[in-house]
């Protein structure tokens, strides 16, 4: 089933007409990365400590979706969708606000195309007899604010970490083998698939600053000074990404004001934009630091 699921995701991303902007004649997303975590991986219960007690485990997702049926999920499918070259390029030259392309990606890529991909894959697996749930569609799914800033009760980046797809960075962004300029999604399913191995136990191994003390390129890219040695100020960042001005910018060019413009200046024109910079260092050295 592993290869069938991967092939279907690849096909959908390649062929679905909603993964294409006629306005800028380019796809929103390039070929994805797809990996799998065990639904019983202990990380999911640890996330209640690291993130918040409300953060859902895969079992809770199924308990909510299939009330009283006592079904156990087996696997969490995690998908990395790399932002396409043309969109990244347009944001690379920005200094203050997201480019129009990056802005429209929020409305038509994130909210429209990814929702369609999730629906398609859930239907595909349910039709094959495997119960599958998109946690974001549950009534209990929420985005909220606690003392540390905005968060959700199903964090795609933490799911992707569990599936071995990459690590976090000093700016909080998730760095995969296809870089940090990516979007993420995931589904919880009854299909039993051998989980992918995490390449590192450290949850920050792919960031040059957190691994080697170098780089800091994203610090300089942030137009509102939200990234420092201390980390990422989510409140300041949220205001820039989704505040009033961001909403009117999205509206002015035909995007959904509620989706805002985003920003992503810290995800473009930096060494980790479209590859894992620590992976490149390791292959240059001809050795794998994790193994030493
Ligand atoms: C709330 C939210 C925001 C908030 C807060 C972000 C945040 N850091 O949590 C704000 C509004 C600031 C924001 C901004 C942006 N966002 Co946002 N956001 C979300 C959302 C809805 C939830 C995130 C969440 O729940 N976080 C939970 C908290 C706890 O995570 P955290 O603080 O980063 O986690 C830290 C700790 O857990 C810590 N940690 C400590 N000990 C340990 C131990 C272990 C083992 C582990 C694993 C971790 C860990 O490591 C982490 C990093 O420091 C997700 C969608 C989703 N449902 O996941 C998108 C999402 C995270 N956003 C995304 C994007 C693209 C953006 C923007 C670029 C905006 C844009 N579209 O242009 C900016 C980038 C900001 C940045 N530098 O990362 C992408 C992520 C892409 C990526 N490569 O990381 C997501 C996944 C959306 C998507 N579907 O793709 N976002
Ligand atoms: S730009 Fe450099 S410091 Fe910033 S997240 Fe990427 S590797 Fe880390
Ligand atoms: S998304 Fe924009 S505002 Fe937020 S940290 Fe990155 S550069 Fe700064």
In the predicted structure, residue 281 carries a pLDDT above the cut 80: no
State pLDDT tens for residues 114-147.
999 999 999 999 999 999 999 999 999 999 999 8
Ligand 3 center to 264 CA (angstroms)? 6
pLDDT band at 111 (very low <50, low <70, confident <90, very high): confident
**Cβ(217) to ligand 3 under 6 A?**
no
pLDDT band at 285 (very low <50, low <70, confident <90, very high): low
Which residues, listed in sequence order, are joined to residue 79 by a DSSP beta bridge? 34, 185
Give, for ligand 3, the residue of 241, 268, 270 to mutate: max count of ligand atoms closer than 8 Å to Cβ: 241
What counts of helices (H) and strands (E) characterise the chain? 12, 10
Residue 281 vs residue 248, higher pLDDT: 248
State pLDDT tens for residues 142-162.
999 998 899 999 999 999 999
Q: How far is CA 116 from CA 31, 109, 234, 285, in A?
A: 16, 10, 28, 42
Residue 195 vs residue 201, higher pLDDT: 195
In the predicted structure, residue 212 carries a pLDDT above the cut 60: yes
Ligand nearest to the CA of 277: 2
In the predicted structure, residue 291 carries a pLDDT above the cut 80: no
Distance between CA 62 and CA 59 in Å, rounded?
5
Residue 214 vs residue 68, higher pLDDT: 214
Ligand nearest to the CA of 94: 3
pLDDT recorded at residue 284 = 60
Ligand nearest to the CA of 180: 1
Q: Which of 70-74, 109-113, 147-151, 166-170 has the highest mean predicted lDDT (pLDDT)?
A: 166-170
Nearest CA to ligand 3 atom 4: 237
Kindly state the average pLDDT of the residues 7-35.
97
For residue 51, count CB atoms less than 10 angstroms from its CB and return exposed for 0-12, middle for 13-18, buried for 19 or more: middle
Ligand 1 center to 80 CA (angstroms)? 14
Ligand 2 center to 215 CA (angstroms)? 6
**Cβ(217) to ligand 2 under 6 A?**
yes
**Cβ(179) to ligand 1 under 6 A?**
no
Tell me if residue 213 falls in helix, strand or coil: coil
Specify the range with the lowest mean pLDDT, choosing from 9-13, 108-112, 260-264, 267-271: 108-112
pLDDT recorded at residue 200 = 87
Kindly state the average pLDDT of the residues 236-255.
96
In the predicted structure, residue 19 carries a pLDDT above the cut 50: yes
State pLDDT tens for residues 39-68.
999 999 999 999 999 999 999 999 999 987
Nearest CA to ligand 2 atom 5: 169
In the predicted structure, residue 288 carries a pLDDT above the cut 50: no
pLDDT recorded at residue 287 = 41
pLDDT recorded at residue 8 = 98
Q: How far is CA 63 from CA 52, 67, 133, 138, 141, in A?
A: 19, 5, 11, 11, 14
Q: How many CA atoms lie within 13 A of 44 on its CB side?
A: 21
pLDDT band at 283 (very low <50, low <70, confident <90, very high): low
């Amino acid at each position: 089933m592993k290869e069938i699921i991967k092939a279907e995701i690849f096909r959908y991303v390649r062929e679905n007409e909603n993964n294409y902007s006629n306005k800028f004649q380019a796809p929103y997303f390039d070929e994805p990365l797809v990996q799998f975590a065990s639904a019983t991986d202990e990380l999911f219960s640890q996330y209640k400590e690291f993130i918040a007690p409300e953060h859902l485990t895969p079992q809770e997702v199924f308990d909510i979706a299939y009330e009283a049926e006592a079904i156990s999920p087996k696997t969490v499918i995690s998908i990395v969708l790399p932002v396409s070259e043309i969109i990244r390029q347009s944001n690379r030259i920005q200094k203050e606000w997201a480019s129009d392309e990056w802005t429209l990606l929020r409305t038509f890529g994130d909210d429209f195309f990814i929702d369609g991909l999730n629906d398609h894959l859930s239907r595909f697996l349910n039709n094959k007899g495997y119960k599958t749930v998109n946690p974001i569609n549950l009534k209990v799914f929420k985005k909220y604010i606690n003392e540390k800033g905005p968060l959700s009760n199903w964090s795609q980046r933490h799911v992707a970490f569990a599936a071995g797809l990459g690590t976090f960075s000093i700016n909080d962004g998730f760095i995969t083998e296809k870089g940090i300029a990516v979007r993420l999604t995931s589904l919880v399913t009854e299909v039993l698939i051998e989980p992918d191995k995490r390449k590192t136990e450290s949850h920050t191994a792919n960031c040059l600053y957190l691994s080697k003390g170098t780089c800091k390129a994203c610090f300089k890219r942030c137009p509102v000074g939200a990234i420092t040695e201390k980390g990422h100020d989510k409140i300041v960042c949220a205001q820039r990404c989704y505040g009033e001005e961001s909403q009117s910018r999205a509206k002015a060019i035909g995007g959904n004001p509620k989706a805002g413009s985003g920003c992503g200046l810290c995800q473009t024109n930096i060494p980790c934009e479209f590859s894992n910079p620590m992976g490149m260092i390791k292959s240059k050295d001809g050795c794998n630091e994790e193994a030493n």
